[in-house]
Amino acid sequence: MKVIFLMADSFRRDHAGAYGNPRIHTPNLDRLAATSHVFDRCYVGSFPTGPNRRDIAVGKGHKPGHAFNPWINIAPDEVPLAQRLTAARVHTSMITDVANGVARDRNMHKGFQYYTVNRGQEGDTYFADSSVPNETELPPEVIRYNMGHHHHVLMNRARRVFEEDYFAPGTYKIACNWLEKNYRLDNFFLWLECFDPHEPWDPPQWYLDRYDPGYKGRVIEFPPYGYYKRLGITDREIQHTQARYMGECSMVDNCIGRLMLTLDRVGILDEVAIIFTSDHGICAGYLGDAGCAGKPHFVGKEGAWLIAGTRPEGEVECFPLRTGISRIPLFIKMPGQTKGKRVGRIAQPWDLHPTVLDLFGQKAPSDLQGESLLPVIKGRKAAPRPYAFVGAIQKPMTKTMPPVDLRQAMNEEWMYSFWTSGNRGPNLVNLLKDPKQETNVARKHPDVCRKMHAALSRFDAGSFEGIKNPW
């Protein structure tokens, strides 16, 4: 078996044409979807980037009874997916440009026989070039980074000339070269990961020309996380920010097209299983984003956080992880598959650990939270999943900021949110009747809340210990 796992950070589900977006240009992902099992109801588990990678790598929460993962490294005594595969004599390689997974000592490469890091993404402290001025025409309140971090971003991208000099294309070029050298292997697991379309949203100009040609206003490419109007960002500026994000999505799509051509060229396209997914989406002023940019689920008194790198002081305003963030794409193409199929069953990141083991004929350990998706792909009946479960664990970032521990149960109709840290009361949104996702109807539907709260507290029993069902 040969498996390629494609992770594109911050890729909104509705920014793949296969999920019904007529404006976005993702022809290669759409072709992949046309020969894959497309999961229509895939949701994040632990949020955001690092916790999501732990969901997949270790397949469970960070300690017994706790279903979700915080921002912590993979520990020496934990056995991640790559280590299980390596022990089963599968060739394992990681190719990544996600600095906060490897370059910043997160240890997400644990267990891989080989790993390659394309350094310099976002503010990775990789390359010093004092000749690059640390200048901007923007005020600090519309920039996510402090000026030191901002300078890292400018230095890291100062040497770009061609598209391959951008991070996702460069990372995929490394992967294509890897395939040319290793396509003859009897088996392999290649984890191929790019930080794009995560901000900074700075694709080549030709992608911007597709979505917002001739724009002359301010360029907001890495806004703070929060309410963009309260930061002084206009609707026209956020429209251009959307174009920049869409340009990044199309750039990633082009990378995937190059990978597929390489697989075909070396003659193994029909031998490979391909998994494509993301860790979460983003907000950029779309319907249901509640006027937010970035990926916030809480804001400080200014209506945002990470304003010029600052963290919130004092109490914070909390809100759910809305669907633009919490619903993610998932395609699984089986070897030799030529026709696509839509899958309605709920899927989550911790299912991918046992799914990959299953692809290699390996039995999943009994303590994993997820279950292999292969039986569903093969048409077998499975017990229904009424809800997906989402969690975000945020420790205080300043002396006066409280913890923000959010837990959610979700399905197509309902989004129930509960803060185990007590920041606010329960929240229930009817996703079918409230596309803006702004009206709390918990008091009108106590029976729905009671069922969803009970299911959520059973799933994450350790976090709900001592908390009574308020319904």
pLDDT the model gives residue 105 = 63
pLDDT the model gives residue 104 = 62
Per-residue pLDDT of 14-37, as tens digits, reads 999 999 999 999 999 999 999 999
Spatial neighbors of 362 by CB under 8 A, at least 6 apart, are 84, 85, 88
Per-residue pLDDT of 333-372, as tens digits, reads 999 999 999 999 999 999 999 999 999 999 999 999 999 9
Residue 103 in this model has a pLDDT that exceeds 80: no
* Whole-number percent of the chain with pLDDT over 70: 99
Strands 292-294 and 283-284: what pairing? antiparallel
Q: Are 188 and 2 a contacting pair, CB within 8 Å?
A: yes
Residue 106 in this model has a pLDDT that exceeds 80: no
Q: What is the fold of 388-459?
A: Arylsulfatase, C-terminal domain (3.30.1120)
Q: Looking at 300-382, which runs of residues are DSSP E strands?
A: 304-305, 317-318, 330-333, 341-343
First to last CA, the chain: 49
Spatial neighbors of 359 by CB under 8 A, at least 6 apart, are 1, 3, 273, 374
What does the H/E/C string look like for 81-97? HHHHHHHCCCEEEEEEC
Q: Write down the pTM of the prediction.
A: 0.97
Q: Are 92 and 99 a contacting pair, CB within 8 Å?
A: no
246 falls in which pLDDT band (50, 70, 90)? Answer: very high
pLDDT the model gives residue 100 = 79
Looking at every residue in the chain, the average pLDDT score rounds to: 96
Strands 46-47 and 188-194: what pairing? unpaired
Per-residue pLDDT of 281-332, as tens digits, reads 999 999 999 999 999 999 999 999 999 999 999 999 999 999 999 999 999 9
CATH code at 2-377? 3.40.720.10
Annotated domain spans of the chain: 2-377, 388-459
Per-residue pLDDT of 197-229, as tens digits, reads 999 999 999 999 999 999 999 999 999 999 999
